[in-house]
Each structure stands twice: as structure tokens, then as C-alpha cells.
Amino acid sequence: MEKKSEKGKDKSKASAVPAADLTTLEQICGNDKETYQALTHMILDPRKIDVSTKQAADKAKKAEKEKDLVGARMWYEVAGGLAVYEGDAKKVVEYYGGAERVTGEKYLILNNPDKAVAKAQEYYKKYLQL
């Protein structure tokens, strides 16, 4: 009988994740799993991207026009990621909407872009010390 109660204790300990084991983004998003999932592919340090948001968007539109759907997706995602960094939810919707259009895939960030951008801004302020 004692073994069962010990197993129960172990089970509860295993399900509790110490805050120290969470990533910065997980800590910022807390229990909001959808926003966390929406941001898991965000650009961690956009300062290292050598194109502007406008350049990436222009490349995406050009690739889409040329029926280069892989290139269009990539550039829309880059433009969207940079828009997240810039805190521009309207552009996030435009660019990730473009990626969604060319791929047919759903982007969680489009479910609540304002919230995702706010959480990303919190991350960038902490991680990049803006």
C-alpha cells in the first residue's frame, strides 16, 4: 500500500515543471499555450536579419507572382517575423495571411495577433534588452 502512495507522490512531482526549466518565452506566455505555440517559430534575434520588413514583403510578393510558393512562404514568414519584432500586428496579419494563402496552412499567430505581438514584445524587451 505504501508503494502506491509513493507512486502518487512521484507522479505529482513529475507533472510539476520548475520555473527554472521553462524557457523565457514559456515564462512570459504562462498558461497561454496557444500564444506560446503561435510564437515558437518567431525570429529570436531579428537584428541579425539582413533585409527590412518591406524588402522581405516585396520578395514574397514577387515570388508569389512568379508561382514560387516555397520562396513566397519563406519571405512572407520572414516579413511576418520582422513585423512581430516591430510590434506591428496589422502587418503580422498581412504577411502571415500571405503565407497562409500560398501554403494553405494555418498560422496560429493569426488567431490573436495583438496578444502574440504583445507577448513577443515582452520577450524581446527581456531577451534583447530593448
Residue 126, pLDDT above cutoff 90: no
Please tell me the least confidently modeled range out of 63-67, 78-82, 117-121, 124-128.
124-128
> How buried is residue 32: exposed, middle or buried, by Cβ count under 10 Å (0-12/13-18/19+)?
middle
Average pLDDT of the chain to the nearest whole number: 85
- Mapped onto helix, strand or coil, the DSSP state of residue 87 is coil
